[in-house]
Amino acid sequence: MIVILKSDTASQSVQELVTNFKSFGLDVHISQGSTHTILGLIGDTGRLDMDQIRMFNCVEDVKRIQEPFKNANRKFHPLNTVIPVKDAAIGGGSLTVIAGPCSVESEEQIITVARSVKSSGAKLLRGGAFKPRTSPYAFQGLREEGIRLLLEAKKDTGLPIVTEIMDLSQLDLFAEVDVIQVGARNMQNFELLKQLGHTDKPILLKRGLANTYQELLMSAEYIMAFGNEQVILCERGIRTFETYTRNTLDISAIPVLKKLSHLPVVIDPSHSAGVAEFVPQLSMAAVAAGCDGLMIEVHNNPPCALCDGVQSLTQEQFAALMPRLSRLEAALQEA
Amino acid sequence: MIVILKSDTASQSVQELVTNFKSFGLDVHISQGSTHTILGLIGDTGRLDMDQIRMFNCVEDVKRIQEPFKNANRKFHPLNTVIPVKDAAIGGGSLTVIAGPCSVESEEQIITVARSVKSSGAKLLRGGAFKPRTSPYAFQGLREEGIRLLLEAKKDTGLPIVTEIMDLSQLDLFAEVDVIQVGARNMQNFELLKQLGHTDKPILLKRGLANTYQELLMSAEYIMAFGNEQVILCERGIRTFETYTRNTLDISAIPVLKKLSHLPVVIDPSHSAGVAEFVPQLSMAAVAAGCDGLMIEVHNNPPCALCDGVQSLTQEQFAALMPRLSRLEAALQEA
Amino acid sequence: MIVILKSDTASQSVQELVTNFKSFGLDVHISQGSTHTILGLIGDTGRLDMDQIRMFNCVEDVKRIQEPFKNANRKFHPLNTVIPVKDAAIGGGSLTVIAGPCSVESEEQIITVARSVKSSGAKLLRGGAFKPRTSPYAFQGLREEGIRLLLEAKKDTGLPIVTEIMDLSQLDLFAEVDVIQVGARNMQNFELLKQLGHTDKPILLKRGLANTYQELLMSAEYIMAFGNEQVILCERGIRTFETYTRNTLDISAIPVLKKLSHLPVVIDPSHSAGVAEFVPQLSMAAVAAGCDGLMIEVHNNPPCALCDGVQSLTQEQFAALMPRLSRLEAALQEA
Amino acid sequence: MIVILKSDTASQSVQELVTNFKSFGLDVHISQGSTHTILGLIGDTGRLDMDQIRMFNCVEDVKRIQEPFKNANRKFHPLNTVIPVKDAAIGGGSLTVIAGPCSVESEEQIITVARSVKSSGAKLLRGGAFKPRTSPYAFQGLREEGIRLLLEAKKDTGLPIVTEIMDLSQLDLFAEVDVIQVGARNMQNFELLKQLGHTDKPILLKRGLANTYQELLMSAEYIMAFGNEQVILCERGIRTFETYTRNTLDISAIPVLKKLSHLPVVIDPSHSAGVAEFVPQLSMAAVAAGCDGLMIEVHNNPPCALCDGVQSLTQEQFAALMPRLSRLEAALQEA
The average pLDDT across B295-302 equals: 86
Does the beta-carbon distance from C4 to B65 stay under 8 Å? yes
The average pLDDT across D268-277 equals: 92
Does the beta-carbon distance from B56 to A215 stay under 8 Å? no
> Which residue type does C22 have?
K
SS3 B2: strand
Flag whether pLDDT at C51 surpasses 80. Answer: no
> Which residue type does B161 have?
I
Flag whether pLDDT at A6 surpasses 60. Answer: yes
pLDDT for A335: 59
CB D30 within 8 A of CB D18: yes
pLDDT for A93: 92
The average pLDDT across B73-98 equals: 96
From chain C, the residues in CB contact with A332 under 8 A are 284, 328, 331
pLDDT for C306: 39
Q: Which stretches of D236-326 are assigned E, i.e. beta strand?
A: 265-267, 293-299, 313-314
Put simply, whether C324 touches B (Cβ < 8 Å) is no
Flag whether pLDDT at B308 surpasses 50. Answer: no
CB D237 within 8 A of CB D250: yes
> Which residue type does D45 have?
T
pLDDT for C26: 85
Taking the C-alpha atoms of residue C231 and residue C83, their distance in angstroms, rounded to an integer, is 8
pLDDT for A64: 80
pLDDT for B190: 96
pLDDT for A13: 85
How would residue A307 be classed by pLDDT, with cut points 50, 70 and 90? very low
Q: A306 or D56, which is more confident?
A: D56
How would residue A230 be classed by pLDDT, with cut points 50, 70 and 90? very high
The average pLDDT across B8-30 equals: 84
Put simply, whether B242 touches C (Cβ < 8 Å) is no
pLDDT for A33: 67
> Which residue type does A13 have?
S
The average pLDDT across A32-54 equals: 76
The average pLDDT across B298-307 equals: 62
Question: Which H or E run contains A54?
Answer: helix A50-54
The average pLDDT across B46-58 equals: 75
CB D182 within 8 A of CB D203: yes
CB atoms closer than 10 angstroms to residue B161: 27
Does the beta-carbon distance from D210 to C215 stay under 8 Å? no
Q: Out of C85-99, D39-53, D300-314, which region has the weakest mean confidence (pLDDT)?
A: D300-314
Q: Out of A86-90, B161-165, C12-16, which region has the weakest mean confidence (pLDDT)?
A: C12-16
Burial B256-265 (b: 16+ CB within 10 A, else e): bbbebbbbbb
Put simply, whether D331 touches B (Cβ < 8 Å) is yes
Flag whether pLDDT at A52 surpasses 50. Answer: yes
Question: Which H or E run contains B213?
Answer: helix B213-225
Select from C11, C231, C306 the residue whose CB has the most chain D CBs within 10 Å, as the one to mutate to test that interface.
C306
Q: A100 or D47, which is more confident?
A: A100
D164: Cα within 13 Å, side-chain hemisphere: 27
ipTM: 0.91
pLDDT for C307: 41
The average pLDDT across D152-174 equals: 97
Q: How far is B289 from chain A (nearest CA, A)?
A: 25
Q: Out of A159-168, C215-224, D138-147, D151-160, which region has the weakest mean confidence (pLDDT)?
A: D138-147
Taking the C-alpha atoms of residue D300 and residue D97, their distance in angstroms, rounded to an integer, is 17
CATH tag for B74-334 (out of 3.20.20.70, 3.40.50.720, 3.40.1170.20, 3.30.465.10)? 3.20.20.70
pLDDT for B335: 59
Neighbouring chains of B at 3+ CB pairs under 8 Å are A, C, D
Share of chain A above pLDDT 90, in %: 70
Name the burial class of residue A80, with classes exposed (0-12), middle (13-18) and buried (19+) by CB atoms within 10 angstroms of its CB. middle
pLDDT in tens, B226-257: 999 999 999 999 999 999 999 999 999 999 99
The average pLDDT across B178-201 equals: 97
The average pLDDT across A292-310 equals: 71
Q: B30 or A253, which is more confident?
A: A253
Q: B38 or C123, which is more confident?
A: C123
Give residues with Cβ within 8 angstroms of D148, minimum separation 6. Answer: none
Question: Which H or E run contains B219?
Answer: helix B213-225
Flag whether pLDDT at C180 surpasses 70. Answer: yes
CATH topology match: B2-63 vs B74-334: no
SS3 C73: strand
pLDDT for C29: 82
Taking the C-alpha atoms of residue A170 and residue C79, their distance in angstroms, rounded to an integer, is 53
Taking the C-alpha atoms of residue C282 and residue A86, their distance in angstroms, rounded to an integer, is 32
Q: How far is B241 from chain D (nearest CA, A)?
A: 7
Put simply, whether C106 touches B (Cβ < 8 Å) is no
Taking the C-alpha atoms of residue C245 and residue C268, their distance in angstroms, rounded to an integer, is 14
The average pLDDT across D101-126 equals: 96
pLDDT for D64: 80
pLDDT for C62: 85
The average pLDDT across D198-226 equals: 97
Q: Out of B53-57, B117-121, B302-306, D213-217, which region has the weakest mean confidence (pLDDT)?
A: B302-306
How would residue A25 be classed by pLDDT, with cut points 50, 70 and 90? confident
Nearest chain D residue to C215 by CA: give it: D134
Taking the C-alpha atoms of residue C61 and residue D69, their distance in angstroms, rounded to an integer, is 43
Distances (CA, A) of A305 to A314, B7, B14, B57: 11, 18, 12, 10
The average pLDDT across D125-133 equals: 94
pLDDT for C53: 81
Burial C99-126 (b: 16+ CB within 10 A, else e): bbbbbbbeeebbbbbbbbbbebbbbbbb
Put simply, whether C61 touches B (Cβ < 8 Å) is yes
- Residue C128 β-bridge partners: C103
CB D43 within 8 A of CB D15: no
- Residue C298 β-bridge partners: C313
Distances (CA, A) of B107 to B138, B152, B160, C142: 21, 8, 16, 67
Q: How far is D227 from chain A (nearest CA, A)?
A: 28
Put simply, whether C44 touches B (Cβ < 8 Å) is no
Distances (CA, A) of B227 to B74, B202, C27: 17, 12, 48
From chain B, the residues in CB contact with D243 under 8 A are 212
Share of chain A above pLDDT 70, in %: 96
The average pLDDT across A321-334 equals: 93
pLDDT in tens, C191-223: 999 999 999 999 999 999 999 999 999 999 999
CB B296 within 8 A of CB B284: no
Each domain of chain D, given as residue ranges in start order, spans 2-63, 74-334
Flag whether pLDDT at A306 surpasses 90. Answer: no
Q: What angle do CA C127, C131, C135 make, to 5 degrees?
A: 145
Flag whether pLDDT at A131 surpasses 80. Answer: yes
Share of chain B above pLDDT 70, in %: 96
Which residues of A, range 130-169, sit inside 8 Å of B by Cβ? 130, 132-140, 166-169
Flag whether pLDDT at C13 surpasses 80. Answer: yes
Flag whether pLDDT at B136 surpasses 60. Answer: yes
Flag whether pLDDT at B98 surpasses 80. Answer: yes
Q: Out of B258-267, C66-75, D253-262, which region has the weakest mean confidence (pLDDT)?
A: C66-75
pLDDT for B59: 85
Flag whether pLDDT at A229 surpasses 50. Answer: yes
Taking the C-alpha atoms of residue A218 and residue A214, their distance in angstroms, rounded to an integer, is 6
The second-level CATH assignment, the architecture, of B2-63 is 2-Layer Sandwich (3.30)
Average pLDDT, chain C: 91
CB atoms closer than 10 angstroms to residue A158: 12
pLDDT for D306: 39
pLDDT for D303: 59
pLDDT for C305: 37
Does the beta-carbon distance from B136 to A218 stay under 8 Å? yes
Average pLDDT, chain B: 91
Annotate D282-304 with DSSP letters as a single string: HHHHHHHTT-SEEEEEEESS-S-
pLDDT for A82: 98
Does the beta-carbon distance from B212 to D334 stay under 8 Å? no
Select from B31, B32, B244, B259 the residue whose CB has the most chain C CBs within 10 Å, as the one to mutate to test that interface.
B31
pLDDT for B311: 72
SS3 B189: coil
pLDDT for A34: 64
From chain A, the residues in CB contact with B57 under 8 A are 302, 304, 307-310
Flag whether pLDDT at C302 surpasses 70. Answer: no
Give 3-state DSSP helix, strand, coil % of chain A, rounded to 5: 40, 20, 40
pLDDT for B307: 41
Output C146-151 pairs: Cβ under 8 A, ≥24 positions apart. Answer: C146/C103, C146/C104, C147/C173, C147/C174, C147/C177, C149/C104, C149/C106, C149/C107, C149/C110, C150/C104, C150/C110, C150/C125, C150/C177, C151/C176
B40: nearest CB among C31, C63, C239: C31
Taking the C-alpha atoms of residue C136 and residue D197, their distance in angstroms, rounded to an integer, is 11
The average pLDDT across A256-271 equals: 97
Average pLDDT, chain D: 91
Flag whether pLDDT at B306 surpasses 70. Answer: no
Q: How far is D144 from chain C (nearest CA, A)?
A: 14
How would residue C57 be classed by pLDDT, with cut points 50, 70 and 90? confident
DSSP annotation of B292 reads S
D251: nearest CB among B214, B244, B251: B251
**pTM of the prediction?**
0.93
Taking the C-alpha atoms of residue A37 and residue C250, their distance in angstroms, rounded to an integer, is 41
Put simply, whether B188 touches A (Cβ < 8 Å) is yes
Put simply, whether B182 touches A (Cβ < 8 Å) is no
Phi, psi for residue C206 in degrees, rounded to 5? -85, 140
